[in-house]
Structure 1
């Protein structure tokens, strides 16, 4: 590994990464002398070299996952929940180390890295309770002496494909539910963040050892490129594939899984908007907008990307937002006072600049967006978040650029605001800032937001694990995490029991034989 830079009072990045990996129980061979390099966005330097799986390795992993599933599905669900409880305990015990590793590998500020691990702990708690509530229905039968009901059964190995921006939490949203549902899991993490995945796998294996009796191959990790992911999407032995990432990736995954009549859970791009109405509390709105638009350096699927402001409050709100954008702390995410860390890599920076150039060509007024600290850290990409005042919702505004760009549009009515809000291909998260009850209820109604998540007086970013997470349109339609999302990891059977001595047929059909 290369020599590391040090932030103010911070240990060198590579040195700290080594210490964290060892503290988390990750064997040295898992992140040394491999074929794929891992870079920290904090400095741009190499912090790991991981071995990659081949398509043949992936096929073997699927075979092991099938065998593990066949054993795991027979374990009572509350007992399966005990394994997830033990995983949650491992995460509690190692929250600081894993959260810090998320910061080093993904560039999140310290509180966000820790918050991501807390999400994992929370979904484990949710899943443990769920393990005693995998309920079906009893349905009235039209035939006397009959009982009709639904039952839910484990479905099989679940493929989990995750993105760099939430390198560990999204796996847990899927894996915790799949495990209590009776499924085995195979995880393909982002090629940009494999070290955190190795750490989570080590913690899972520790929990499985304490559990005793978990089948080998119940949870497996495959580090590799698109050819490895293709094995999960194409193999009929993997009935469910959950994929989180770009719309482009989702189109590929969804089509390939559908081709073999598999099931996909797609959580894809978002182009999330917030509407600010004349009655809004502007102090509250400012705080909600700032975090939603700038948090995680704009690299959340729920990041606020469009701000639709009524003309009556535009001049009162936007100058304050411009000042916030110009003064926010940008730098090493490990340092106190930093609110904006780096973009994940050069490609993300170039994508941001291309979008800003398109907006500039359309006459937009741009505040911020420039690269900072380039002389100090030439291989890392820190940028000032960009606030873009633009006259209309042109094509670039309808496109999700995975960077801290907030397009601001002026409107004059709620109807116009909702039309702008819904006038993009994506449909993940949304919000309205208003103290008008009618406006709030309209936004949440069938004629309001067309997104999977709709909020009032909070931003679109920062969902809780108790609610089903996902969206509509090009966001993919999948749901992960809470509510009844567990049903996606199981198969449903409708059962009818005849406890009478006759055989009446449904719909009054008569079929008598001697």
Structure 2
């Protein structure tokens, strides 16, 4: 057993998972840190996926009738267990996703935060009472559990996105069937084990959560099954184009979190010290593999040279390497395909007249893929800039007028996260207004990544339009009923209709 495989095994054991090594295990967990195998599992069969859906659907029949504050008790206990095993789960996140420990710990903290949010929410699933036009009548809305929620998550946030969906879905009275990324099966096993333990601790039915693992075919079965009332899928735009029509054809609900070609405008009045810090973390953090990673900087021509110089200087201080090593801030890309996509994008940018200021080179060799974060100055927003490359490439464009900056910013098909760095209040308010950023997230003097759980998370256009986490995102996981109660002895009709 290798050192990293041993670390994964020990972290799982501390959580309470004893991973077998089945002879027919074709689902291989590999760490992007070295490329080596750290676990082997047997993927779910079609019959097992069907059984998981059957169990989740059956569990829903009773779970939906459990009072919401009682349902919140499961999520409260999950938060307690996550707190106890924060270091263990974060270690698995680093091993499978390649995040530096600080980011991995932050992801688990995000899980704890959403549990706290959901527990409070379990006592706040409010409906409305409206004024009725008919005397002796009351008009109101009530919210009810929806059904089975299918969750398909991506490698880059292997546990946080699951928790956003699961914590909210459970307090709303739904049950969950989760299909994680093939790249992160061990973190998924750990999360499932902790949630099942939480259920047992508080006397709830562990069948309210089901874990299925394997290739795309496993997820396709989840997408097409009519027992899945809501499908929440995180991934590429291409995946969304495949998933959405299938769910729509069976009149299911879909919550999509897809690509994010995020941009930041840097105005002449910007605090450049602040802007550089925000840009560097947003662009290079998680090796550029966040859906909210900064891909485009749109900077005023009067300060472009200075800003690029400062970012390049900061990039020169970023240590790329094994995320477990002290001082490392940029870990590995998830696999060879990611590095190939990065190299291809940089070559295309050069062909389009782009100038590579720094970075873009492979760091090290072997079966792991590390890359130095790249800065590329572009003469215009060509197709390679409009397409999202899931890697640490930062394209820099210039503008002369604020209207031009907004036009450049919005001229991409994605619409997840955005930012402006300015001390001009008019520019800041205009960016947040209806003629400003067309994204689901718009920030002022802060980068595009690092969203808090209190706000609804999601984007517009090809990002899919879904909303997860805070605010009123819970309504996605429930169905609304409009109720009219007649407490009089008359039967007046609405709109003054007289039926004799």
**TM-score over 0.5 for the alignment?**
yes
Equivalent of residue 326 in structure 1, options 312, 316, 327 = 316
Show CA shifts across 1:421-480 (max 9, x none).
000000000000000000000000000000000000000111000000000000000000
Residue 29 of structure 2 contacts residue 38 of structure 2 at CA under 8 Å; is this kept in 1?
A: yes
How many angstroms does 1:91 deviate by? 0.1
Q: Following the alignment from structure 2 to structure 1, what is the Cα–Cα distance between the partners of residues 111 and 326?
A: 24
- The structure-2 alpha-carbon separation of the partners of 1:30 and 1:202, relative to structure 1 and needing over 3 Å to count, comes to farther
Residue 196 of structure 2 contacts residue 206 of structure 2 at CA under 8 Å; is this kept in 1?
A: no
How many angstroms does 1:167 deviate by? 0.2
Show CA shifts across 1:271-315 (max 9, x none).
000000000000000000000000000000000000000011112
Partner of 1:371: 362
The two structures have a TM-score, normalised by structure 1, of 0.96
SS at match of 2:451: coil
How many angstroms does 1:216 deviate by? 4.1
Residue 199 of structure 2 contacts residue 206 of structure 2 at CA under 8 Å; is this kept in 1?
A: no
**Count of aligned pairs between the two proteins:** 499
Q: Following the alignment from structure 1 to structure 2, what is the Cα–Cα distance between the partners of residues 397 and 190?
A: 27
Partner of 1:490: 478
Partner of 1:274: 264
How many angstroms does 1:32 deviate by? 7.7
SS at match of 2:113: helix
Q: Following the alignment from structure 1 to structure 2, what is the Cα–Cα distance between the partners of residues 31 and 116?
A: 30
Partner of 1:308: 298
Matches within 5 A, 1:159-170: 159-170=150-161
Partner of 2:119: 128
How many angstroms does 1:260 deviate by? 0.4
Q: Following the alignment from structure 2 to structure 1, what is the Cα–Cα distance between the partners of residues 420 and 452?
A: 18
1:224 paired to 2:206: no
Which 4+ residue blocks in structure 1 deviate beyond 6 angstroms?
A: none
Q: Following the alignment from structure 1 to structure 2, what is the Cα–Cα distance between the partners of residues 354 and 19?
A: 39
How many angstroms does 1:27 deviate by? 2.3
SS at match of 2:89: helix
Q: Following the alignment from structure 1 to structure 2, what is the Cα–Cα distance between the partners of residues 223 and 84?
A: 23
Q: Following the alignment from structure 1 to structure 2, what is the Cα–Cα distance between the partners of residues 191 and 100?
A: 18
* Cα RMSD (Å): 1.0
Partner of 1:296: 286
Show CA shifts across 1:163-193 (max 9, x none).
0000000000000000000000000000011
Partner of 1:249: 239
| Long gaps (5+) in structure 2 | none
Equivalent of residue 399 in structure 1, options 387, 391, 406 = 387
Q: Following the alignment from structure 1 to structure 2, what is the Cα–Cα distance between the partners of residues 293 and 505?
A: 60
How many angstroms does 1:235 deviate by? 1.1
Partner of 2:72: 81
Residue 41 of structure 1 contacts residue 107 of structure 1 at CA under 8 Å; is this kept in 2?
A: yes
| Long gaps (5+) in structure 1 | 5-11
Matches within 5 A, 1:413-424: 413-424=401-412
Matches within 5 A, 1:29-108: 29=20, 34-108=25-99
1:23 paired to 2:11: no
Q: Following the alignment from structure 2 to structure 1, what is the Cα–Cα distance between the partners of residues 238 and 202?
A: 39
Equivalent of residue 460 in structure 2, options 456, 469, 472 = 472
Q: Following the alignment from structure 1 to structure 2, what is the Cα–Cα distance between the partners of residues 386 and 251?
A: 30
Q: Following the alignment from structure 1 to structure 2, what is the Cα–Cα distance between the partners of residues 194 and 126?
A: 26
Partner of 2:426: 438
Partner of 1:264: 254
1:142 paired to 2:130: no
Residue 31 of structure 1 contacts residue 195 of structure 1 at CA under 8 Å; is this kept in 2?
A: no
Show CA shifts across 1:227-256 (max 9, x none).
111121111111100001111111111111
Show CA shifts across 1:470-496 (max 9, x none).
000000000000000000000000000
Q: Following the alignment from structure 1 to structure 2, what is the Cα–Cα distance between the partners of residues 122 and 29?
A: 32
Partner of 1:454: 442
How many angstroms does 1:336 deviate by? 1.2
Q: Following the alignment from structure 1 to structure 2, what is the Cα–Cα distance between the partners of residues 92 and 182?
A: 24
Q: Following the alignment from structure 2 to structure 1, what is the Cα–Cα distance between the partners of residues 9 and 220?
A: 31
Which sits farther off after the overlay, 150-159 or 17-26?
Answer: 17-26
Q: Following the alignment from structure 2 to structure 1, what is the Cα–Cα distance between the partners of residues 418 and 406?
A: 11
Equivalent of residue 503 in structure 1, options 481, 486, 491 = 491
SS at match of 2:329: coil
- The structure-2 alpha-carbon separation of the partners of 1:32 and 1:406, relative to structure 1 and needing over 3 Å to count, comes to farther
Q: Following the alignment from structure 1 to structure 2, what is the Cα–Cα distance between the partners of residues 446 and 431?
A: 15
Q: Following the alignment from structure 2 to structure 1, what is the Cα–Cα distance between the partners of residues 98 and 393?
A: 18
SS at match of 2:259: coil
SS at match of 1:327: coil
Q: Following the alignment from structure 1 to structure 2, what is the Cα–Cα distance between the partners of residues 317 and 231?
A: 49
Partner of 1:215: 205
